[in-house]
Chains A and B, each alone.
Chain A
Amino acid sequence: MAEPALPGAEADAAGLAVRLRGVTKIYDNGVTALGPLDLEVRRGEFVSLLGPSGCGKSTALRLIAGLSAPSAGSVDVSRHGARQHGSHGIGFVFQEPTLMPWASVRDNVRLPLKLAHTPARDADARIGDALDQVGLTEFAKAYPRELSGGMKMRVSLARALVTDPDILLMDEPFAALDEITRFRLNNDLLSLWRNLNKTVIFVTHSVFESVYLSQRVIVMTARPGRIGAEFRITASEPRGEEFRTSAQYAAHCREVSTALAPSYAGQAGA
């Protein structure tokens, strides 16, 4: 018997950020939400998980984050970043901004550092950088209720970035925003991803958003969620607004939509 490897060591060695093998999740009520699911995400890759509501894509994200344990299979997450600066190495952005209403923007972004007992001077510098990256420097002292939906989402993003994680997990982060704001945040996210060299796993139910953002789109089936199809989006980088209107974009969207359609079969109103 080989000794059990350190968590993440295996993924690390393969140049992967995340590796899921035969992962299933069965809830306490006996419903199988997910799997079996095999998924490999390379370091630095931008991957979208696309699927209908209830297909377990958020569950997959929570498993990767360690917020919930798989019923079977193994979840292997690279600890590359964690070793570097003693942080978790994972940033999480929820569908809701999930901010603490009693704390200012600055203190909300400070939270992960505060929990890790980061020295104040170091923390202040990182918070400054994170707020700068999302363009909210002027709003550091504002309270969440004083901000628009898009700005709250930016705070949430800054909080995820402040520990400089290798992996950014995003759970339908822009679903509740209006289209113009969403487009703007899409572009900002893309430039952050290019500049900061992060691995991004992005959960969405929007075909257009997944194609626009990702290098790879993974289409998931209805519950229990499995991988239904995979597409490489080969558009050249950097992508901008002109990509949204290109024929290539339209073609990608069409093929992804076609692959997604069976996931909605049998659903009322589909």
Chain B
Amino acid sequence: MRSPQDIVRILLPVVVFAAGLLVWELTVRAYGIQPYVLPSPLLVLKTLVADWPILAQSLGVTLLTTLEGFVAAAIGGVALALLFNQSKWLEYSLFPYAVILQVTPVIAIAPLLLIYLQQQTAVIVCAWIVAFFPVLSNTTLGLSSVDRNLAGLFQLYGASRLQSLLFLKLPAALPYILGGLRIAGGLSLIGAVVAEIAAGSAGAGSGLAFRIAESGYRLNIPRMFAALLLLSLAGIVIYGVLALISHLMLRRWHESAFGKES
């Protein structure tokens, strides 16, 4: 089924990646660069295996924080959008503050949160602050892009507000909500990392970002790279899983789930 062009498309990035690693490895060896300056890819991999017990535990902590932040953002974003959709006054009163939360850099908010909240709570709140806005704005957009005639039809058949919401607005908004969640997944990881680093500089924590900061202080650069690699992989997996869920939920009806040909 796959055309040669498809194979090239998959193969090319892999080749570029392998070539990059090779150049990196050879450069480190040829110039005898010390591991505390730049570790070779192989050393990073070895460190990843050797330090796995510590790193795996940290990965678990970070992923849990990300997940909690993500779930809070998903529920909070959709719920706020639903409230705004039901009451214009509420939207006018609160939306500016949602924007302010969004545009203020979270790395500047995190230290403040750490003062007023318990560390674990602060980290989750950080992840939530970064991630909820795309869910909120996408859901708001989705809820208001209902087909006018379909809305008229619901009115004609005397649909209640709840029926309109459940059978019309939410399904119509679903592609937008899923799009927002896909962005929120990556962002909640970023929020978790930012908060961990802020918390780490206060000398406490156990997540992956904390490991990076801690390894930096100890000049354990290979472990820094190994932790970074794990974070990157986590981000890719989160995005992939959310994209897959989105595809599965929309594949029967939404344009985004079909190829250009169909």
Contacts and interface: CB of A to CB of B under 8 A. Distances in A.
Nearest to B160: A115
Nearest to A91: B156
A258 B155 CA distance: 38
A44 to B, nearest CB: 21
B156 A66 contact: yes
Nearest to B164: A115
A52 interface: no
A67 interface: yes
A232 interface: no
A124 B115 CA distance: 61
Contacts of A102: 171-172, 174, 252-254
B150 A100 contact: yes
B147 A98 contact: yes
Interface residues of B, number: 21
A45 interface: no
Interface in B156-213: 156-159, 163, 167-168, 171-172, 174
Interface string A97-109: 0101111000000
A85 interface: no
30 contacts: A65-B152, A66-B156, A67-B152, A67-B155, A88-B157, A88-B158, A90-B156, A92-B153, A96-B149, A98-B149, A98-B153, A100-B167, A100-B171, A100-B172, A101-B253, A101-B254, A102-B174, A102-B252, A103-B253, A115-B154, A115-B157, A115-B158, A115-B163, A115-B167, A116-B158, A143-B252, A143-B253, A144-B253, A145-B253, A163-B157
A114 interface: yes
Contacts of B172: 100, 102
Interface of B: 147, 149-150, 152-159, 163, 167-168, 171-172, 174, 252-255
A94 interface: yes
A105 to B, nearest CB: 12
Contacts of B163: 115
Interface string A39-77: 000000000000000000000001001110000000000
Interface of A: 62, 65-67, 87-88, 90, 92, 94, 96, 98, 100-103, 111-112, 114-116, 143-145, 163
Given A88-B158, A92-B153, 19 more contacts: A65-B152, A66-B156, A67-B156, A88-B156, A92-B156, A94-B152, A96-B149, A100-B150, A100-B171, A101-B253, A101-B254, A102-B172, A102-B174, A103-B253, A111-B167, A115-B154, A115-B157, A115-B163, A115-B167
A92 B151 CA distance: 12
Given A98-B149, A98-B150, A115-B163, A65 B156 contact: yes
